[in-house]
Structures are given as C-alpha cells and as structure tokens.
Amino acid sequence: MIVTLTPNPSIDRAYDLDRLLVGEVNRAAAVHVDAGGKGINVSRALHAASIPTRAVLPVGGPDGELLLALLAQLRVPTVPVPVEGDTRSNITLVAGDTTKVNAPGPNLDDAARDRLLDAVADTLAPGDVVVAAGSLPAGVAPDLYVRLGALVRERGAGLVLDTSGPALQQAVAAGGLALIKPNDDELAELVGRELPTVGDVVTAARELVATGTDRVLVSLGAHGALLVSADGSWWAGGPALVAASTVGAGDTTLAGYLAACTSGRGADSRTDLAADPALALRTAVAWGRAAVQLPGTAVPTPDLIRADEVRILTTPDPTTPIKEM
C-alpha cells in the first residue's frame, strides 16, 4: 500500500483563457474542477494505474464535502479527518503561461494534527510507503514531517517527502527519509546556494544522501529530472512539449516513480524504492510529460504514458547548465 498524507488539500479550479488581462473582465473558454493537493494528486495518479493507494486528508466545510465527492467519483480510497474550518480552493489561470492563486486553508490545532498522524498510523503495515506532500496549514508547526517520520519508521514503513521550506529542512536534518522530491529551486534553498549546472545539483543531492536521505529525485521542470543515490546519478528527459497545464505534473512524476517501484497488484503488490533506478526515473518523467499535456490537474491513464519518448543518461555531464538539458 502507498499511503499519502496531504495536510492542506484543496479544490483545484482551473480556468482556460485565450489571454489574461489584468484589471479587466476575462471570460474562460473552459473550467476544470479537480480534487487537489500534492499527496491527493499522487494517489489519483496511482489509482488510475490500478496501484493500491489510500489518501489521508483533513476535510472541513462545503468544499471538504466536495473534495470527498470528487475522490469518490474517481473511486480513490480515502481516510478523511474532520477538522474545523473550510477546505481551501485554489485557482489556476491558464493563458499560455500558468498563474496560480493558492488559498491559505484552515487553521489546524494540535489535536487536529494528532488526529492526522493517528489516521496515517492506523492505515500502515510493515513494508508500506507513506508519501507526505505539500504545504502545511496554518497552526501546524514545521516539525510535522519529523513527527511523521518517527511514526512511519516505528511501523516498519518508508517515508517519501515532497515539500519545501522549514518543513523540508527539519525533516532532512532529522534523517531517515527514503526519498525526497524537491525541484531545483527548492534544493538550492535547502543547501543555501545557487545550482546552475547539473554537477551542482548532483553535488547538493549527494550532500543530502550523506546526511541520511536515501534518494533525491530532483524535478527540473521542462528540462527533465535527476535521481541521485549513494549508488550513482541519472538524468532523464524528452523532446519539448506544448504544455496544457503544468499544475500537478510534479506530483504525477513522483507517482510514476513509485509505480515503477511497485510490483504485483492488489494485496500482493510490493513497493521497493531501491528498484532499478534508471527504469524508475524514466517512468517518472514519462508520467510527468503525460500530465502536462492534460488540462487542469488531470492525471494520465496508462495509455497516455510514452516511456519510449524519454531518454536517460546514467552519467550526466556535470558541466551542463540545467537549462540546456
């Protein structure tokens, strides 16, 4: 089982525009409403590929009910944790470029935080993988993922983390993470310096591996992705694409990586994050490329994923600027 925790989920409303005129009345050509939040996006993508997953999430107010209804329509298994306040709505405006407006979400107290952690603990069995992803809601201290890491390890499971800022810094410092998935800017913030070349990114990722993180999957956006572990480094990417929406593509990339590490189906499935790194990275990038060609935060079905379009380098040239990959 791959369990996801999304502490600050959302309803994602995306509006397709011919162009965006600031200060003027704009009319949308289409509107897309999806269940959103990074961990939820991972669960949605995994479920679409028939990989066992369960999404743990706080819910409150009418949009919380809508969020659960949208996930029920997709038949994504959920563990809702009722909280005070309203689940947030995020707005995306797509007019060539993508403009996002993210709401803050409800304020969660310590009791709500503990209920979330208990909900994760109650779902876990040895060998499971927990994906904790996204920003923290107001009222939740940045040590949430440190607490989660200790809980996950006690249950004999592995923790994958996709977040940023102090929450990522504290979790990495605590160690014991199976995988983190920063983008290049988040990795630069984490190590405190600019990372203009592939070699700089690999060096920074190796520093994190040396301090207790098993694998670092770095999203480079349109320039592909890098995977770094104690065993080596790999880059994967493909031809340029015309993106319909980049929102949630990184979450689908992570789901693709997890899918490649999962063998079997149903109760017999098993996820081994140490599986073939080249295959896992190629699959991750293929899933992400499929996602950006879909509107809103839609996730690709297996028939849309083209791993044959992705090339991989097991020894990427360290002198190459990221924007030339």
For residues 147 and 118, the answer to whether their CB atoms sit within 8 Å is: no
Positive or negative torsion for Cα 59, 111, 130, 50: negative
Is 268 noted as a catalytic residue in this protein? no
Of 210, 284, 282, nearest to 49 by C-alpha is: 284
Q: Is 188 exposed, middle or buried (0-12, 13-18, 19+ CB in 10 A)?
A: middle
* Whole-angstrom distance, CA of residue 228 vs CA of residue 205: 6
Cβ partners under 8 Å of residue 300, min gap 6: 45, 48, 252, 287, 290, 291, 293, 294
What secondary structure, in 3-state letters, does 57-102 show?
A: EEECHHHHHHHHHHHHHHCCCEEEEECCCCCEEEEEEEECEEEEEC
Cβ partners under 8 Å of residue 74, min gap 6: 35, 44, 47, 48
φ/ψ (deg, to 5) at 245: -160, 135
Selected catalytic residue, list 18, 251, 272, 303: 251
List the catalytic residues. 251
